[in-house]
């Protein structure tokens, strides 16, 4: 895998259902690179810390491989990397092969793959179409959040290389599909709950789904 683009955003105020909200989804490429820190990406904006950010969501990665699919679906948009709100656009990243808990080196940083992105209305605002949320879920390639274990700079052109595989082989795609499935895979839920780094927010929801 290879880092194609590093992206950040300045805060932008939007109006949603009559109330003003701050968002950082309108990211654009930062050619100087970005600094990954356990608490987040320096110089980036997190609009809602209750949903985004935190140690388990310090940065968001999305695959460059899926850009052609979405460009075809939304040909009139002004396309550039960072369109999905990702901090790192990564070539060759496939959620079917990306394992929760695996350790990777991206530039100077060591990161842990944590959980997939769950789309919300802000993605709809970014694409000027709230219908993209259902399409995004059906497409099944949501990108991933990461925890930063070793801080450092990441720049376009840096490799992203596997450092260590996790003991449990749960792919980001499998977890994402379960999250939105009507029938929840109870075995998968229990396996995820055993992961020591899973956020308390995720633990609470998974516990609710246990039969």
**pLDDT higher than 80, residue 46:** no
> What is the pLDDT averaged over residues 142-165?
98
Check residue 185 and give its pLDDT: 96
Contact between 48 and 21 (Cβ < 8 Å): yes
pLDDT, tens digit, for every residue of 58-95?
999 999 999 999 999 999 999 999 999 999 999 999 99
Mean pLDDT of the residues in the chain: 94
First to last CA, the chain: 38
> What is the pLDDT averaged over residues 153-180?
97
Residue bearing the bigger pLDDT, 52 or 175 = 175
Q: How is residue 14 written in tokens?
A: 């939007």
> How far is C-alpha 46 from the geometric centre of its chain's CA atoms?
13
Q: Which residue has the tokens 């904006």?
A: 45
Q: Rounded distance, CA 175 to CA 177, Å?
A: 6
pLDDT, tens digit, for every residue of 14-34?
888 878 888 999 999 999 999
Q: Which of 19-33, 46-60, 91-105, 160-174 has the lowest mean pLDDT?
A: 46-60
- DSSP annotation of 209: H
SS3 label, residue 105: strand
Burial of 79 (0-12, 13-18, 19+ CB in 10 A): exposed
Q: Which of 44-48, 172-176, 182-186, 202-206 has the lowest mean pLDDT?
A: 44-48
- What are the percentages of helix, strand and coil residues in the chain, rounded to 5? 25, 30, 45
The pTM for the full model equals 0.95
Check residue 75 and give its pLDDT: 97
């Amino acid at each position: 895998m290879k880092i194609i683009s590093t992206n950040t955003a300045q805060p932008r105020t939007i109006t949603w259902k009559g109330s003003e909200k701050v968002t950082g989804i309108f990211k654009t490429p930062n050619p100087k690179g970005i600094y990954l820190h356990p608490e987040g990406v320096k110089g980036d904006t997190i609009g809602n810390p209750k949903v985004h950010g935190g140690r388990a969501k310090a940065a968001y990665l999305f695959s460059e491989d899926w850009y052609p699919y979405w460009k075809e679906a939304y040909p009139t948009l002004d396309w550039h990397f960072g369109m999905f709100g990702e901090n790192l656009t990564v070539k060759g990243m496939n959620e079917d092969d990306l394992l929760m808990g695996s350790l990777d080196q991206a530039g100077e940083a060591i990161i842990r793959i944590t959980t997939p992105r769950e789309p919300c209305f802000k993605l709809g605002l970014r694409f000027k179409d709230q219908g993209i949320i259902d399409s995004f879920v059906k497409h099944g390639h949501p990108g991933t959040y990461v925890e930063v274990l070793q801080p450092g700079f990441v720049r376009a052109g840096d490799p992203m290389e596997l450092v260590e595989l996790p003991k449990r082989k749960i792919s980001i795609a499998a977890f994402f599909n379960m999250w939105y499935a009507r029938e929840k895979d109870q075995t998968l839920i229990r396996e995820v709950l055993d992961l020591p780094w899973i956020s308390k927010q995720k633990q609470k929801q998974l516990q609710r789904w246990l039969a």
